[in-house]
Chains A and B, each alone.
Chain A
Amino acid sequence: MRAALATIAVAAIGAAALWWGTDQGRALTSEAARRNDIAAAPRLLPDVTFHDQTGAAFALSDYRGAPLVLEFVYATCPDICITLGTAFERLDATLPEDARLVSISFDPRDDTERLGWFADRHGAQTPRWRVAGIEDDADRAALLARADVVVIPDAMGGFVHNAGLYLVDPEGRLSAIFEPEDTEGLRVALAGDAR
């Protein structure tokens, strides 16, 4: 009897801990947790300065007042960034005219020339779609940390990173993250925001 009661008590406490630890069963991974967090409480991104594929400098705050979509890539990425680039091509073709796209490289080696490779491959043209690098290491780290983008080196000189399409609202807050394939979901969400 004592054993049964104690076992039930432990099971109840354990179940409660697991319920809490998975955001009520909605987040088994940190990726899911990050998306839930951001959707529940949009995050203001640090106002870092970028340089784009034409060499021009710009800041995140230049985009206030209009919807903005970000993605994080690197110029020599062989796989997931191609998917991300293709997703941006689709968004470029379907989003309203005032929406802007920025592909942000987290690779410090990506200079104007290398950013140009990525832009050329996907037909990115300013001002609609910028491919941007961040000069300052601290700025880059701060932006990645704020968006919870985790970049780890792979075994072949490249990087592995959590990929997504990042919707930034007109106030400059990161408000939602979508799967790279889910351009339609992003388009619908953006149309909903505009209403």
Chain B
Amino acid sequence: MRADRAIIGGAALLLLLALSPLGPLLESRLATHILGYYPLNVAGGAVIGARLAQGRGVPWTAAPALLMATLTLAFWALPRWIDASLADDSVHAARTANLALLAGLPLGWGWTQAGPILRGFFIANAAAMLAVMGWLMLAVPSRLCNTYLLSDQRQLGNGFLIVAAGLVAALLGQALIGSMREPGSRRQHACHLAE
């Protein structure tokens, strides 16, 4: 019962994004477009993907699924296709479906199936890519998207750097806190609490 709520919730999020004024509002600025609209669009699919992966142990699918999500995001992060999705409704529709089904769904699925090493690699890789893109957005002297102002591009650059720093901090925090604990200590702690 609770599990179905995840699927309904993901679908509802996708519908909200597609049909309400929230979508166009987020798309009106480059930074909210890439750091708001895209993550929500992906999250809609990811919630469903994670739910589908629950109770299904197929760890070998984790790496290809996460790679699929990464490449789909890379495609739709190309300035050319950001412009095209705003200029052409059919491209926009294709993107919505892509981000939900080819990025979100495999992300949710792959993350659930992945072990700690793959997860760590994925986050570290994402942080590195975001940092490079952030630097690029700040360094390139000309506009990359015809639809947005140069100031929008700078804003997105800063946004990318902040998100990258956040991911690194999260990873670092987990590594440091994790290493302070003895292996299995979390479970013992939980048992202790249960007593």
Contact = CB atoms under 8 A, between A and B. Distances in A.
- Chain B contact residues (Cβ within 8 angstroms of A): what range? 20 to 34
A15 B74 CA distance: 10
A152 B148 CA distance: 8
Contact of B143 (A14, A15, A160): A160
A27 B83 CA distance: 12
A162 B146 contact: yes
A159 to B, nearest CB: 10
B162 interface: no
Contact of B81 (A11, A21, A152): A21
A27 B80 contact: yes
A22 B67 CA distance: 19
A13 to B, nearest CB: 8
A40 interface: no
Interface string A13-27: 011011001100001
Interface of B: 59-64, 67-68, 71-72, 74-75, 78-81, 83-84, 87, 143-151
B60 A3 contact: yes
Contact of B79 (A3, A9, A29): A29
B80 A22 contact: yes
21 contacts: A3-B59, A6-B61, A7-B64, A10-B64, A14-B71, A17-B71, A18-B74, A18-B75, A21-B81, A22-B78, A22-B80, A28-B144, A29-B83, A30-B80, A30-B84, A30-B87, A30-B146, A150-B83, A150-B87, A150-B147, A154-B149
B78 A152 contact: no
B79 A30 contact: yes
A141 to B, nearest CB: 13
A11 B78 contact: no
B106 to A, nearest CB: 9
A10 B71 contact: yes
A31 interface: yes
Contacts of A82: none
Q: Is the interface of A mostly helix, strand, loop or mixed?
A: helix
Contacts of B145: 29-30
Nearest to B106: A10
A2 interface: yes
A7 B63 contact: yes
Contacts of A150: 83, 87, 146-147
Contact of A29 (B67, B75, B144): B144
A6 B146 contact: no
Contact of A14 (B68, B79, B87, B147): B68
Contact of B71 (A2, A18, A28, A30): A18
B67 A28 contact: no
Contacts of A154: 149
Contacts of B144: 28-29
